[in-house]
Structure formats: C-alpha cells, structure tokens
C-alpha cells in the first residue's frame, strides 16, 4: 500500500505556482493541479482513499492512468460528475481498474476558485472476487466507483445494505470488465440480471449489441475483450417496471479453457485526442473512427485524453478543442452539423452539439476513404478497400443539415433497433427515439434525439379520464378508444394534453427532450357533439359550417377544428416552455390546410397519404387525385407562418427510383421553412431476405438527401453503386439505369404508393417493358465479377429477391420446341423432355376438411411446350385402377369419373378444356354451352398401366393469341370420383381454377 500526505495551502501565491506548474506540465485548459503520481500495474484494480477539505463548490478529483510512453489513454480517465468534493464530506474513496499498459496513476484536482486541501492519500490494490469493481455497492451511498456512467439514479437501502435504484428513464452502466473471448461466464448468486450484456473489443468498441436473454450463464463473443452491463427501466405503463433496483451483481468464469493469446496489432503513428470528460456520443465518435481506421488499414490508432509530444498527425475530437474556430461554431450553432479543419498536422473534428462530432467523423471517413455504410445488417454494415494508410487529404469543410430532424422510421417490432440507429447515424440521421420502455441508451449514444409523444388519446389523455365528455361523440355514443380523436371543443382537453406534455418534457432528468409530437389518431372518426358541429367563426368574420358529420366528406371543417384545439394546447405549453416546438401530423383529414392560423410553436408534418403518386414529386403530380396534394402543400406554404415537417412514404414493394421523388420533395420542404424530414417504411435488416435487398440503394440516397436535399439523387446513386459494388459497378450501374428509365417512362400509366404490390411493380416496370431477361443477366454478371465477398453477397441477395418476384408471378414457361410440330403426339418423343412440367398438384377443399398434408392421392403431371403457331400439353394422370389397352376414341361428351381441366385466358376470352380416360373431350369458349366453339384443337388419348395420358395441340389462333407476345394465362386441375364421397380435387397451385382474380393467375411465359 502506498501512503502519502499532500496538502494544498490556500495562499494565492502557492495556488498560482501550483496552477502554473500544472498547466505547463499537463497542458490543461482549466484550474487543474496534480496531487500525486503513484505507481500502478497494468489491468489491475485499486482503491484510492484520501481526506479533503472542499475549497470551491466546483472542485472535483480526477484519476488518469499514464502508460509506459508517458501518455494518458482515454480508457484510463476517470473524470465523471460524481467525483465532486462535498462541503459536508472529508473522507473519499475511489475504486477503479487501470487500462492495459498503465504504469502511473495521476491523481489531480480541478477547481474554480479556492483549491481543496487534500491529505492522507492512500492507494492499495484490491481483487474483486466477482470481477466487478464495487459490484455490491460496498463503497457506500454516493460512491459510483465501478458505475461511472449513469443517469437519474440514487442509492437506497435494501435489507440493511446499499443498493442502486434507477428511477424512471434512468440507466446505469458498469465500467469495463476484462474477460476472455469465447469463454463461459455466470452471474453469481443474488445478482440483479441486466437488460444488456454489452461486449467490446480490445479498443473498447461495442460489438453487435443484443438484449440479454436473462440466463445466468452465457458465452462471450469471439472478438470480445471487455464487458459492460447495462441496466435500465422498462415498461412505463407497469409501475413495477418504471424503476429498477440493483442490489448486487457479480460474474465468475465457469470454464477452464486456457486464456487466448491476443494478436499484436501494428500501431499507426497518428493519434485521436478526446477530452477525458466528454459526452458519450463523442466517445462513440472516437471509437467509431478508431474502429474503421483499424478495419481499413489493419493498424491501431491510439485514443488519448491529452495530445502526446510526438510530431505526428493528431485528430482532435469535440468542441472542447475548437475554441479557435469560433466562426465555425457560430455557423453550426443550434444544429448538429459539423466542421473539419486542419492546422498543420492537427485535424479538428467538431460540432456545436456532440452529435455534430459524430457526424463529422463519418464525413471525414467518407471523404478520405471509399467506405460506405450501405445498410444496417452487420454482415454488410460497411464496405471499403483495405489500404496500408489513410491519407487525410480532404480536411477543410463544414456542413450544416438542411433539416433539424432527419427521421428514418423503422417498423415496430425491430428486433435490434440499436443496429438500425447505427446505420441511421452513420448516414447523418438523428431519428427521434420514443420513450415508453425505458431510456434507449444505445440508440441515443449513436445519434438519435430524445423524443416522446403520439396520438391525442393514446399518449396524452388515456382512457381513464373521469369526464367522459372529453372523448368523442360518435354515432350517438361517447366511446373511449385510443385511436379516436378527442372532443375538439371541450375546454379541458388542451389543458389535459398540455399537462401530459409537461410530464414528458421532464421525463428524462439531466437530458433534454428534443422532440415532442401530439397527433391525430390513425382514423377518420371525429367528434359530432353539438359544440363541435357548430359553425366556426373565422378571423375575417365569416362562418365555416360543417357540410357533413364525416371528416372524409368534409376534411376542411374538421381539420380546422383539430388545429383550433392544438392552438389552445400550444398556448398553454408556451407559458412555461417558450421555446417549445409542438410537432403534429397534417394527416388524413388534417392534411387539408385549416381556415385558422396555427400557433407558431406548432410544426405540422404534411403527410400526402395515400393517393399521391410516388413516381412524381408532390408539386408535379400527374393525376387529378394527386393534384389535390400539390394544391394542399402549396396552400400550407402560402397560408401558414410556421415551421414545417414532411411525412414521407418513399417505400414500395418492388424495385424503384423513389429517391428521385424524395429529392424534389425535400427541396420544396426546405424552401417552405421545413425543419423535419421524414421517411417511413424501413424494415429491420435481419438475416432473411428483405426489402433492403430491393431498395437499399434508395433508402441510402434518401438518408443523404435529408441532410442536403440540393444533392443530385443520380450522383448519389452512382456513388452508392461505385462504393458498394466496386468492380461489379458497371453491371450494377446498367441494372439500375434500366430500372430508373422504366420508372420514369411517362407512357407507363402505373401509379405507385406505399401499398402497391411488389408483383404489380415487377410486372409493370420490369416484365411488361421486356427488361426481365437483361436485368437478370446483369445481376448474374455482377455476381460473377464482384471480388469483394460483401459486394458479392449483396448482389446474390438482390438476385434472390429478383427471382422471388419473378416466381411470385406464378408464370408457367411455354418453351419453344420447333420439333414439337411433328412430334407432339408421340408420347415417348425425347422432345417432351424439353417441355416445362408441372407436377406439384395440391388438394383443395370441398365439403371435407383438408389435412395438413395436401398432397393428392392421385398424382398428375402436365408438360407444356409450343412451336410458333400451336400450344401443346401432355397430361399424365396416375390412377392405380388404370389398365393398359386400346386408346379411347375421342368424344365431345363431358368426361366421367376422372378428368383433368385446363382453363386458358386470352385477353377477355376464357377457354375451358376437360379431358378424361374415357375419351371425353369437352371444350368451351367463354362458358357458352349454347354456341359451339369452332376450333381446330387436336387430341390424342392413351391408356397405360397405372395412368392415362392425353396430349393436346391448341392452335394459338383459336385463342386469339397470334399477334406480338401472347397474353395467356393457364390453370390446371383434376377431379377424381366427382360424384362419390371419395371425391378428390387438386390443382397445380392449390387454388380453385374458377377463381379469376388477377393475382391468382398463372401467365404463360413465351420466351424465344
């Protein structure tokens, strides 16, 4: 144990000498004085105790580990809020763990005014028996040793011992815990299980985060070097989950495998500098920069708390180092934009907000390497070239986002929202996170802003209000429903909602709620009480009368009522929140511009749903229905003097060029004073094929456009293609050009919105224009050319989705076989092997319930081929009762006992064929049994052992399918024992052949 005594005297001269000495040695920018330097061992735990008389109320102590090179690694800094001297406290304890390479502990004090008097400094090694420092809180109340990072927590007593209570929306993180990779660990008995077990690599960069499954035993990831345990509160609506108490936590290793040797990583000459006390988002920025440089170069970039004396490239992160760039800080104020500046070998990356530093790091990497973050999936999180060194050439730029809020909304149920937010943040987004299940620390740390709110009743009123007249009168009843609108004219509704909003604004103590939204319920039902239905007196003295009790029929009246209520809510809120921005949705009926001026605090998000054609910008709609949205947006801009938002629906089921629509829409939003750009429809990017494999390129471009809508979507698309597909870029560039040309073809009348089926889009933009074959060739070519395995896998997944879309059309190939003209009626002809065969018939229901296995007892296969004038079918109908014999004679009778049915549709005409083993051949056109169908169909019947065979030759001219590419679809079915209890009906797709819905058709595919 090391025992020293050191006192500070209060004389001005002594304090000044100490201060000057400290500034000259440590290079600090505040009143910081070193108390003692004490020898320590690397990766060891210690307890520092000392006595102090507080001088200034602002005094605090700092612990810095100094390595063998005399530098202070950021991981060895303990500069946290809890390390303050208290006026009523004289004895202090701080337990901690040193980082790798530590040699000396520097114990300092920082003060503003009178320095504290420190004495009796003691440092002793400790050996936590459960791996965690202070995991049992034995250091006592107020001592956050081992739990440096926390928010909204307090110490309590549980059964006579100290415990840590996390209050509503609070969180607590343990300090880093060194562990072995790929080893099994177990929580000790009595441990409070965390919400997350976070694994970090040797640079303290978070590996893929996953919620902990609450099992006592787990295996660490192969790349892990450290763990941190994250505790947070959970469901707000359940009182027991609004807080969480940690009584104790410990870990122990439960396998006996030998420790793994850590591979030596070469070190770059450059270094990153980040102040010891920093915002978690700035530390995340540093770890991201460190990580991606290591991935790109294979070399490690040191992260220090203070610059070394080395003559090397130093990258300073955060506004703390940017005082000399006051013009940039002024330009960036009130935004999360960034600036990058160079001064000799020093590079500065900063913003006026911590998120700005994070976004600046990503911009620095993008401008100086070929890295791209194309999608959230961890396997493709980034694509880049490996180079021995990153040469920072572009280091003099700044950027302020066009929109304050840049929201890329992922579907509910996202299994790993932290991964989704990583992608959002890396591409400049700051999507508001929503509270309700505790504080989403991981998403906040990677760039999300703190937000809260929702529907009027759902989030702001609830269903428990005593006065039922707060709720809407619909069809004569006051019904409490989360999705309806409140009574618009009840005098208490705005006050109730404003009071709830105040609770939301203060729901995360110590952090600012940056986004508050109060919006209409997702339906058109509105209050029809007498007061709500009264005419509205407008500012010009005229009356606005209701034309209907329905908001569908009269959106103007009910939109006006809606915003009058919101105005009153805003008036109430600004009394004690003068800078508040109250976001809302100008959605469904509320999208109609109201006849009243909005309160300046209100930020309406214009939502052009659902009749806007997403192929065209909102101000350039081509249809009468779409023109309504053009008119509304112009009217909003001209009549209202508020900030605006835009609720985008730039997603669709198939391949598209939606970013070409989003770009002009966002530019229009910026021109009308928009502060919130939004896009809906981002699915979670899991291991399964998903929509990212179809339109990931558009989602990336849209993310970039939300930062700067003046960018050219075509240029961004080309940048994505080059960075993502690399040597396969030429093929992929042609692939996307063909899709874009088809998308922008004005002669194509297809209207697209977020509900348009993928099948229709594939058919209308790829199949019908004749692009399918070439597009697939390009994907195969790109897959063959790509040398980067990540690029290759992405192309492979896109090809798989392409083929899925093609298969979903249920098309049946009708291959061209020239020899079929002469040999179609020869059952053993080898040319039937060139035909396309259908064999997977499935039973369909009749009066009997279907079994889970729908395989029919009687197997059926049908082969299809053609020449240029005739369509040929070969039917093999298996039946164990069938015997070989003389071929039956064709008759025009309806077949009995067993039959195969073919339904062909050509244009507006339908043709029916029924054939059976008795020679029955029944043919109809348009189901007309009165007028015979004049046709030249030829039929050959055969009787073999265990099956009967029919071959048909159907002239295309009889089907009206001779010009151009025939538009034919087919359905096939079989009915055995139709008049018996043993009746069995099966079809080639498991659906009835008489269901004529367009989505259930199986087109015949005529390839040359």
pLDDT, one tens digit per residue, over 158-190 is 999 999 999 999 999 999 999 999 999 999 999
Residue 925 lies in a domain: yes
- Pair 853, 996 in one domain: yes
Of 694, 645, 365, residue with least CA distance to 516: 645
- Pair 373, 472 in one domain: no
- CA distances 284 to 81, 96, 362, Å, are 19, 21, 11
Q: Using CA atoms, how far apart are residues 60 and 112, in angstroms rounded to an integer?
A: 10
Residue 284 lies in a domain: yes
Q: With a cut of 90, say whether residue 237 has pLDDT above it.
A: no
Q: Using CA atoms, how far apart are residues 337 and 399, in angstroms rounded to an integer?
A: 6
Non-local CB neighbours of 326 within 8 Å, separated by 6+ positions: none
The CATH number that applies at residue 36 is 2.60.120.660
Which residues of 266-420 form beta strands (DSSP E)?
267-274, 300-304, 314-317, 338-343, 346-350, 397-399, 405-410
- pTM score, two decimals? 0.89
pLDDT, one tens digit per residue, over 823-869 is 999 999 999 999 999 998 999 987 667 777 889 999 999 999 999 99
Please name the helix (run of DSSP H) or strand (run of DSSP E) that holds residue 502, with its range, or none.
Answer: helix 493-505
Residue 428 lies in a domain: no
Of 449, 597, 458, residue with least CA distance to 521: 458
pLDDT, one tens digit per residue, over 336-368 is 999 999 999 999 999 999 999 999 999 999 999
CA 776 to chain centre: 28
SS (H, E, C) 290-328: HHHHHHHHCCEEEEECCCCCCCCCEEEECHHHCCCCHHH
**What's the number of CA atoms in the CB half-sphere (13 Å) around residue 94?**
25
**What's the first-to-final CA gap in the chain, in angstroms?**
88
Residue 623 lies in a domain: no
pLDDT value of position 611: 84
- Pair 300, 373 in one domain: yes
- Pair 491, 394 in one domain: no
Residue 522 lies in a domain: yes
Structure tokens at 696: 């990931």
Structure tokens at 761: 């889009």
Average pLDDT over the chain, rounded to whole?
A: 93
Residue 110 and residue 59 in contact, taking contact as beta carbons nearer than 8 Å: yes
Please name the helix (run of DSSP H) or strand (run of DSSP E) that holds residue 36, with its range, or none.
Answer: strand 32-39
**Token pair 């109201």: residue:** 594
Structure tokens at 264: 């030596």
- Pair 342, 480 in one domain: no
**Helix, strand counts (H, E) of the chain:** 18, 48
Q: Mean per-residue pLDDT for 414-437?
A: 94
Residue 768, judged by CB atoms within 10 A of its CB (0-12, 13-18, 19+), counts as: middle
Q: With a cut of 90, say whether residue 710 has pLDDT above it.
A: yes
Q: With a cut of 90, say whether residue 919 has pLDDT above it.
A: yes
338: helix, strand or coil: strand
Q: Which residues of 597-610 are buried (b: 16+ CB within 10 A; e: fewer)?
A: ebbebbbbbbbbbe
- Pair 370, 468 in one domain: no
pLDDT value of position 25: 36
pLDDT, one tens digit per residue, over 271-292 is 999 999 999 999 999 999 999 9
**687 — phi, psi (to 5°)?**
-70, -25
Residue 411 is given by DSSP the state: P
Structure tokens at 929: 């049994």
pLDDT, one tens digit per residue, over 868-883 is 999 999 999 999 988 9
Q: Mean per-residue pLDDT for 654-683?
A: 97
Q: Using CA atoms, how far apart are residues 792 and 785, in angstroms rounded to an integer?
A: 8
Of 519, 710, 703, 748, residue with least CA distance to 613: 748
pLDDT value of position 1005: 87
**Token pair 């395989």: residue:** 855
Please name the helix (run of DSSP H) or strand (run of DSSP E) that holds residue 185, with its range, or none.
Answer: strand 184-187
**Token pair 């329905």: residue:** 550
**What's the number of CA atoms in the CB half-sphere (13 Å) around residue 58?**
8
Lowest mean pLDDT among 360-374, 390-404, 516-530, 841-855: 841-855
Residue 857 is given by DSSP the state: S
Residue 246, judged by CB atoms within 10 A of its CB (0-12, 13-18, 19+), counts as: buried
Of 586, 620, 626, residue with least CA distance to 605: 586
Q: Using CA atoms, how far apart are residues 773 and 125, in angstroms rounded to an integer?
A: 71
**Total tally of structural domains belonging to the chain:** 4
Residue 229 and residue 197 in contact, taking contact as beta carbons nearer than 8 Å: yes
953: helix, strand or coil: strand
- Pair 382, 455 in one domain: no
pLDDT value of position 1: 57
Domain closes at, from 606, 641, 664: 606
pLDDT, one tens digit per residue, over 255-273 is 987 777 777 889 999 999 9
Please name the helix (run of DSSP H) or strand (run of DSSP E) that holds residue 165, with its range, or none.
Answer: strand 161-173
Residue 613 lies in a domain: no
Which residues of 426-540 form beta strands (DSSP E)?
433-434, 450-455, 473-474, 477-478, 515-519, 536-537
Share of the chain above pLDDT 70, in %: 96
**What's the number of CA atoms in the CB half-sphere (13 Å) around residue 829?**
18
Cis peptide before 557 (omega within 30 of 0): no
Share of the chain above pLDDT 90, in %: 86
Identify the domain containing residue 857 by its residue range. 830-1003
The CATH number that applies at residue 958 is 2.60.40
- Pair 330, 473 in one domain: no
**943 — phi, psi (to 5°)?**
-120, 115
Residue 966 lies in a domain: yes
Integer Rg of the chain from CA = 36
**Token pair 């941190």: residue:** 228
Residue 520 lies in a domain: yes
**What's the number of CA atoms in the CB half-sphere (13 Å) around residue 854?**
16
At 29, the pLDDT band (50, 70, 90 cuts) reads: very low
**677 — phi, psi (to 5°)?**
-105, 135
- Pair 465, 348 in one domain: no
Q: With a cut of 60, say whether residue 950 has pLDDT above it.
A: yes
pLDDT, one tens digit per residue, over 775-804 is 999 999 999 999 999 999 999 999 999 999
Residue 817 and residue 834 in contact, taking contact as beta carbons nearer than 8 Å: yes
pLDDT value of position 15: 39
- Pair 929, 842 in one domain: yes
Q: Using CA atoms, how far apart are residues 891 and 883, in angstroms rounded to an integer?
A: 20
At 28, the pLDDT band (50, 70, 90 cuts) reads: very low
pLDDT value of position 129: 85
pLDDT, one tens digit per residue, over 670-683 is 999 999 999 999 99
**Token pair 């020869």: residue:** 826
- Pair 895, 982 in one domain: yes
At 599, the pLDDT band (50, 70, 90 cuts) reads: very high
- Pair 978, 862 in one domain: yes
């Amino acid at each position: 144990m090391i025992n020293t005594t050191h006192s500070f005297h209060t004389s001005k001269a002594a304090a000044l000498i100490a201060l000057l000495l400290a500034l000259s040695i440590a290079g600090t920018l505040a009143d910081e004085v070193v108390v003692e330097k004490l020898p320590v061992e690397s990766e060891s735990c210690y307890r520092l105790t000392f006595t102090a008389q507080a001088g200034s109320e602002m005094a605090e102590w700092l612990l810095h580990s100094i390595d063998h090179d005399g530098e202070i690694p950021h991981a060895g800094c303990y500069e946290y809020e809890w390390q303050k001297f208290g006026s009523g406290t004289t004895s202090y304890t701080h337990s901690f763990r040193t980082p790798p390479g530590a040699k000396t502990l520097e114990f300092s004090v920082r003060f503003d005014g009178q320095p504290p008097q420190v004495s009796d400094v003691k440092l002793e090694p400790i050996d936590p028996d459960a791996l965690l420092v202070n995991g049992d809180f034995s250091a006592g109340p107020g001592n956050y040793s081992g739990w440096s990072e926390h928010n909204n927590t307090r110490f309590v007593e549980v059964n006579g011992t100290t415990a840590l209570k996390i209050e509503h929306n609070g969180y607590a993180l343990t300090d880093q815990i060194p562990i072995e990779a790929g080893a099994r660990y177990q929580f000790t008995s009595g441990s409070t299980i965390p919400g997350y077990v976070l694994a970090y690599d040797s640079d303290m960069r978070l590996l893929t985060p996953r919620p902990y499954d609450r099992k006592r035993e787990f295996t660490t990831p192969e790349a892990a070097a450290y763990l941190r345990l994250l505790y947070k509160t959970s469901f707000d609506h359940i009182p027991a989950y609004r807080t969480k108490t940690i009584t104790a936590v410990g870990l122990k290793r439960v396998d006996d495998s030998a420790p793994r040797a850590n591979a030596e990583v070469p070190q770059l000459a450059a270094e990153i500098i980040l102040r010891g006390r920093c915002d978690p988002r700035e530390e995340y920025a540093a770890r991201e920069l460190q990580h991606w440089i290591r991935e790109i170069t294979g070399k490690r970039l040191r992260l220090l708390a203070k610059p070394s004396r080395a003559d090397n490239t130093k990258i300073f992160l955060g506004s703390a180092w940017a005082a000399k760039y006051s013009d940039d800080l002024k330009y960036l104020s009130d935004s999360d934009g960034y600036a990058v500046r160079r001064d000799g070998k020093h590079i500065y990356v900063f913003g006026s907000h911590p998120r700005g530093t994070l976004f600046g790091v990503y911009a620095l990497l993008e401008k100086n390497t070929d890295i791209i973050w194309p999608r959230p999936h961890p396997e493709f999180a980034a694509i880049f070239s490996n180079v021995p060194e990153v040469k920072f050439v572009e280091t003099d730029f700044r950027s302020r986002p066009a929109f304050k809020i840049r929201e890329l909304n992922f579907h509910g149920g996202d299994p790993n929202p932290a991964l989704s937010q990583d992608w959002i943040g890396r591409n400049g987004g700051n999507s508001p996170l929503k509270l309700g299940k505790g504080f989403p620390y991981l998403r906040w740390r990677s760039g999300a802003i703190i937000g809260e709110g929702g529907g009027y009743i759902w989030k702001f009123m609830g269903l428990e209000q005593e006065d039922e007249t707060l709720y809407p009168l619909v069809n004569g009843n006051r019904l409490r429903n989360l999705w309806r609108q409140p009574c618009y004219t009840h005098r208490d509704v705005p006050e109730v909602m404003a009071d709830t909003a105040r609770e939301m604004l203060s729901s995360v103590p110590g952090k600012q709620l940056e986004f508050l939204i109060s919006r209409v319920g997702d339906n058109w039902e509105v209050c029809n009480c007498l007061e709500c239905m009264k005419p509205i007196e407008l500012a010009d003295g005229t009356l606005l009368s209701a034309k209907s009790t329905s908001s569908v029929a009269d959106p103007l009246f009910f939109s006006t009522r809606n915003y009058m209520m919101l105005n009153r809510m805003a008036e109430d809120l600004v009394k004690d929140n003068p800078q508040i921005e109250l976001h809302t949705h100008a959605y469904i009926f509320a999208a109609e511009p109201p006849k009243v001026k909005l309160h300046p605090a209100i930020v309406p998000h214009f939502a052009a749903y659902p009749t806007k054609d997403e192929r065209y910008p909102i101000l350039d709609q081509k249809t009468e229905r779409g023109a309504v949205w053009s008119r509304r947006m112009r009217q909003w801009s001209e009549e209202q003097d508020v900030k605006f938002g835009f609720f985008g629906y730039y997603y669709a089921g198939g391949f598209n060029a939606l970013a070409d629509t989003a770009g002009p829409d966002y530019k229009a939003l910026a021109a009308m004073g928009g502060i919130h750009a939004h896009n809906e429809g981002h699915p979670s990017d899991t291991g399964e094929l998903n929509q990212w494999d179809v339109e990931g390129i558009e989602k990336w471009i849209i993310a970039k456009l939300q930062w700067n809508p003046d960018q050219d979507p075509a240029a961004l698309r080309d940048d994505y293609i080059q960075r993502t597909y690399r040597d396969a870029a030429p093929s992929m560039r042609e692939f996307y050009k063909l899709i874009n040309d088809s998308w922008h073809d004005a002669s194509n009348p297809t209207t697209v919105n977020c509900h348009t089926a993928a099948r229709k889009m594939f058919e209308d933009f790829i199949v019908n224009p004749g692009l399918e074959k070439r597009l697939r060739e390009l994907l195969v070519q790109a897959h063959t050319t790509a040398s980067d395995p990540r690029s290759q896998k992405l192309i492979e997944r896109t090809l798989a989705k392409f083929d899925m879309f093609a298969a979903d059309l249920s098309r049946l190939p009708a291959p061209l076989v020239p020899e079929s003209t002469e040999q179609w009626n020869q059952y053993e002809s080898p040319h039937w092997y060139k035909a396309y065969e259908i064999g997977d018939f499935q039973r369909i229901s009749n009066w009997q319930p279907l079994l889970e296995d729908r395989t029919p007892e009687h197997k059926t296969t049908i082969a299809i081929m053609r020449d240029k004038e005739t369509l040929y079918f070969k039917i093999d109908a298996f039946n164990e009762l069938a015997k070989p014999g003389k071929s039956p004679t064709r008759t025009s009778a309806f077949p009995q006992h067993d039959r195969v049915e073919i339904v062909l549709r050509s244009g507006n005409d339908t043709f029916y064929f029924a054939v059976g083993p008795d020679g029955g051949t029944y043919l109809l056109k348009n189901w007309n049994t009165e007028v015979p169908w004049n046709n030249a169909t030829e039929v050959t019947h055969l009787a073999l052992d265990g099956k009967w065979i029919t071959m048909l030759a159907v002239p295309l001219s009889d089907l009206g399918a001779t010009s151009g590419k025939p538009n034919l679809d087919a359905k096939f079915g079989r009915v055995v024992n139709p008049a018996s209890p043993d009746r069995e009906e099966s079809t080639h797709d498991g659906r009835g052949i008489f269901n004529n819905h367009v989505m259930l058709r199986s087109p015949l595919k005529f390839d040359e």
